[in-house]
C-alpha cells in the first residue's frame, strides 16, 4: 500500500478500462488504486472517463471522474475543488494530458503549434499552479509531469510536440526549485516509443514500427504499464529525496 491515505488527480486518464488499450493515465490509475490511493480521473472524453471510473469503483476503489480541459484555468480550479470536497486533500498530481500532430515545420500551422504548447506546457503550468495551495495545506505533495524523450533530444517528425515537451521539462525543474522547501516535489517522466491509444495506429504501420524498433536497443516498444510504474515510484515516498529530476523510460533509446 505505497499510496495509502493519499489522494491523486490524473489528467488524460479516461482510457483506464481493463481489457482495453490504456494510456499512461489509465495504467497509472490502476496502479494507484492498487496501492491504496483515492483517485480523480480527468479528461475531455467524458463518456469513456465515466465508464472507466465506474469500472474501477466496482473493484472497491474510491474513484471519481471529472471533466477537465487542461488549457482552462476555471476547469482546473473546479477539478481541484471537487477533489478537496470529495476527499479533503490532494497529495499527487499527474499532469499527463497530451496531443501529437506530426508535421514538417513548413507545413505546421500556427493553430497546431498553439494547441500543442497549450495542452502540454500551459496544461502543466495551470495544473501545478492550482494544485500547490492544496498540497501546501496538506504538508506537501508530488507533482509528476509527462514530458518525453523528445523533450531531451530532437524529433524529426514532431517539431511542436518537441518544443512543448522541452518546455515541460524545464518548467518542472523551476517549479521543483521554487517549492522544494515546502515538501512539494516536482519531477518529469520521459517516455520513449510506447503504444497507447494516442500512438497505436501510427506505431502499428510496418514501416514506422521498424524504424522505432531499430532506434530502441531493447528491441520492443514500451507499454503504458512500463511508464505507469515510473509514475508510481515518483508519486510514492520511495522517491522522497527526488525533485527536479528526469525519469527516462525509453528502452535505451536516448543512451545512444
CA atoms 33, 38, 43, 47: torsion sign: positive
Instruction: Tell me: pLDDT of 179 over 90.
Output: yes
Q: What is the pLDDT of residues 105-159, one digit of tens each?
A: 999 999 999 999 999 999 999 999 999 999 999 999 999 999 999 999 998 899 9
| pLDDT over 90 at 240, yes or no | yes
pTM above 0.95, yes or no: yes
Of the candidates 65, 87, 161, 193, the residue annotated as catalytic is 161
> Tell me, what DSSP letter sits at residue 184?
E
Domains of the chain: 7-248 (3.40.50.720)
**Residue 161 bears catalytic tag:** yes
Band of pLDDT at residue 78, cut at 50, 70 and 90: very high
Helix, strand, coil proportions of the chain in percent (round to 5)?
A: 50, 15, 35
Q: Residue 200: what pLDDT?
A: 86
Pairwise CA distance, residues 251 & 226, whole Å: 10
Measured at the alpha carbon of residue 195, what is the angle toward residues 190 and 200, in degrees to the nearest 5? 130
Q: pLDDT, tens digit, for every residue of 200-222?
A: 888 989 999 999 999 999 999 99
Q: Does residue 198 have a pLDDT over 90? A: no
Amino acid at each position: 500500500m505505497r499510496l495509502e491515505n493519499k489522494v491523486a488527480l490524473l489528467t488524460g486518464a479516461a482510457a483506464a478500462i481493463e481489457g482495453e488499450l490504456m494510456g499512461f493515465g489509465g495504467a497509472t490509475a490502476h496502479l494507484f488504486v492498487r496501492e491504496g490511493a483515492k483517485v480523480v480521473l480527468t479528461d475531455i472524453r467524458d463518456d469513456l472517463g465515466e465508464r472507466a471510473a465506474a469500472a474501477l469503483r466496482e473493484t472497491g476503489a474510491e474513484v471519481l471522474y471529472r471533466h477537465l480541459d487542461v488549457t482552462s484555468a476555471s476547469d482546473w480550479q473546479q477539478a481541484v475543488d471537487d477533489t478537496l470536497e470529495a476527499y479533503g486533500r490532494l497529495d499527487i498530481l499527474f499532469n499527463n494530458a497530451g496531443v501529437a500532430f506530426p508535421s514538417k515545420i513548413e507545413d505546421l500551422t500556427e493553430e497546431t503549434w498553439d494547441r500543442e504548447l497549450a495542452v502540454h506546457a500551459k496544461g502543466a503550468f495551470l495544473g501545478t499552479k492550482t494544485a500547490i495551495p492544496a498540497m501546501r495545506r496538506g504538508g506537501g505533495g508530488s507533482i509528476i509531469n509527462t514530458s518525453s524523450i523528445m523533450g531531451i533530444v530532437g524529433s524529426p517528425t514532431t517539431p511542436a510536440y518537441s518544443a512543448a515537451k522541452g518546455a515541460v521539462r524545464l518548467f518542472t525543474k523551476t517549479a521543483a526549485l521554487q517549492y522544494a522547501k515546502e515538501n512539494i516535489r516536482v519531477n518529469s517522466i520521459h517516455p520513449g516509443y510506447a503504444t497507447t491509444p494516442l500512438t497505436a495506429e501510427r506505431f502499428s504501420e510496418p514501416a514506422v514500427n521498424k524504424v522505432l524498433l531499430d532506434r530502441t536497443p531493447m528491441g520492443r516498444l514500451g507499454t503504458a504499464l512500463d511508464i505507469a510504474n515510473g509514475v508510481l515510484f515518483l508519486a510514492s515516498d520511495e522517491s522522497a529525496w527526488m525533485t527536479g529530476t528526469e525519469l527516462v523510460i525509453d528502452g535505451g533509446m536516448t543512451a545512444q
